[in-house]
Structure 1
Amino acid sequence: MRPISIVHQDPCLTVFKHCSKDTVVICMGSPASCPLCDGELKDWMFSFRQIFAPWKTSESCPCTIVIRPTNGRFLQDYTGVEDLHIGIADSDGQVLHYDDNGIKRDTFWPECLPVWSQPDADLLTYGSGSIPDTQRCRWNNTLTLHTLSWRIDNHAYNEQVRNCFDFALGFVRALITETEPFGNKEMFTSEVILPKIQRLLRFLELYKKVCSTARSWIIQDTKDM
């Protein structure tokens, strides 16, 4: 097998088929030959895809609800059981979040997973360039009022009933006033957050499998992809 050249600095996997219809090769970078048969990949561009890490900087996913590990980072420290912290990215990617010290505003989160945006804007797919000014203004204005109401309320932080999750979900409810989008935290978790986390964990599983091999590639059945 010819050497693999890394073409993307962020965590990224290349998935392609070549000489077997029932298996795919998963590797990092762009291989010049198939690791199974050592054949030259002349037409590999027609049968490959890249899987990028699902986390982003908050600056690249404005006007979204975002989560991150409470401690550490996704790639190095997250296995699916560690605590997560949730925040609200404004139109500039600054993140407002709540903990036992009150409401905080961070200039940005360097690594976070966007989990929710306004239903009428596919911001998680198309990014900040697709956000109309009216939606940016509505998001920011609602966030300002929601933050103010929490500060006026001035109840103490409580791990069960007044935490970062309650702060974020309260904002979602304030933003979508025409309907009750999520009845409780369990519904928001199961319908919104868990599918994103499952996708993230799947990426981490594949990425770590590839990294753990000396050859930097693995074989996977197509039915498992």
Structure 2
Amino acid sequence: MQPGRAIIQFRHCGKDVYCFRVPDLCPACHGPLSFRNLDEAPISIATPLVHGHQQQCVFLLRPTLGTFLRDYDGNADLHVGITNTHGIVYNYNEQGVQRDEVGWEQSISIPLLQPNMFGLMDQWDKYLEEFSATDDWSPSRYEEHRHNCYTYALTFINYILTAEGKHQLDKDEFTEKFVVPRTRRASKYITLYRAIEEGGFYVIDRLDSDTNLL
């Protein structure tokens, strides 16, 4: 299971064309492809999904059931977790804290550390393990709507922020600032990805084109 291929976008005959590889002929007009300027030339749009087990010290989201590319419909429940420095995903469910080494290969990632925060990264695994070992995250404490995977992840984030002397985030603030922009972009990518998989390409009139399609 992979995070998905990059999508190629180019402009031709008044259309925006999206595909996985540049064809010999334009899918819209069936004529030979030629690009008059850089504005029309193919560009690669990277997938917003990542292999979660290759990420260090990040907040991850994935569908509770299935994968983003195959199963996600925009309304399905999401499961969240925090990676340690080895890509093991700590997450909380009705069985307590899980330490997953597989299963997060298609995830949305939100980095939690700045690149220069080496001191905190050195202590990250220790903090995450100690935090996860407390009684707060025992199986008996789990409640689907009030004490769940999101509560676990956000409480750990605030635990780190407090240790660093920084402002804590409530659920609404963290969701709106960090989660919503990434899930919105991922939803657009998934819709486009499926359309290309089904038809080989996706074409839209430039006059009607949403410049924020991805």
TM-score greater than 0.5 by the shorter chain: yes
Query: Equivalents in 2 of 1:152, 1:162: separation in Å?
Result: 9
CA contact (8 A) 2:96 2:138 kept: no
Aligned to 1:95: 89
Pair 1:207-2:193 in alignment = yes
Match of 1:51 in 2: 45
Could you tell me how far 1:151 is from its partner in structure 2? 5.6
Matched, 1:39 2:32: yes
Q: CA distance change for structure 1 residues 45 and 150 in 2, over 3 Å: closer, same or farther?
A: farther
Distance 2:3 2:82 in 1: 27
* Kept in 2: contact 1:66–1:87 (CA 8 A): yes
For 1:219 and 1:64, the matched residues in 2 are separated by 35
Q: 1:64 to 1:16 in 2, by over 3 A?
A: same
Q: What SS is found at the alignment partner of 1:173?
A: helix
Distance 1:199 1:90 in 2: 25
Deviation at 1:134, TM superposition (A): 2.6
* C-alpha distance in 2 between matches for 1:137 and 1:201: 34
- The offset of 1:15, in angstroms, is 0.3
Q: Indicate conservation of the 8 Å contact 1:32/1:41, yes or no.
A: no
Corresponding residue pairs, total: 204
Could you give the per-residue CA deviations for residues 41-60 of structure 1, whole angstroms, max 9, x where no partner exists?
A: 46788722222322121222
Aligned pairs (5 A) from 1:1-225: 10-20=4-14, 23-37=15-29, 38-41=31-34, 47-108=41-102, 109-118=104-113, 120-121=114-115, 133-150=118-135, 156-177=141-162, 178-182=165-169, 184-213=170-199, 216-221=201-206, 223-225=209-211
Contact 1:16–1:24 (CA<8 Å) still a contact in 2? Answer: yes
Against the structure 1 CA distance between its residues 204 and 153, is the aligned structure 2 distance closer, same or farther, given a 3 Å change threshold?
Answer: closer
Going from structure 1 to structure 2, the CA distance change for 1:29 and 1:9 (only over 3 Å counts) comes to farther
Q: Structure 1 residue runs of 4+, over 6 Å off? A: 42-46
Q: Does the residue aligned with 2:82 lie in a helix, a strand or coil?
A: strand
Provide the secondary structure at the position in 2 that maps to 1:172.
helix
CA separation of 1:94 and 1:43: change in aligned 2, threshold 3 A:
farther
Distance 2:135 2:180 in 1: 26
User: C-alpha displacement at 1:65, in angstroms?
Assistant: 0.5
AA partner of residue 157 (structure 2): V
Cα RMSD for the two superposed structures: 2.7
What is the TM-score of this pair, normalised by structure 2?
0.82
Give a deviation string over 1:151-186, Cα, whole Å, max 9, x none.
Answer: 68775111222111111001100111212331x222
TM-score (norm 1): 0.79
Q: Which runs of 5+ in 2 are unaligned?
A: none
Q: 1:133 Cα shift? A: 4.1
Kept after mapping to 1: 8 A contact 2:8/2:44: yes
C-alpha distance in 2, partners of 1:152/1:219?
A: 49
CA contact (8 A) 2:12 2:33 kept: no
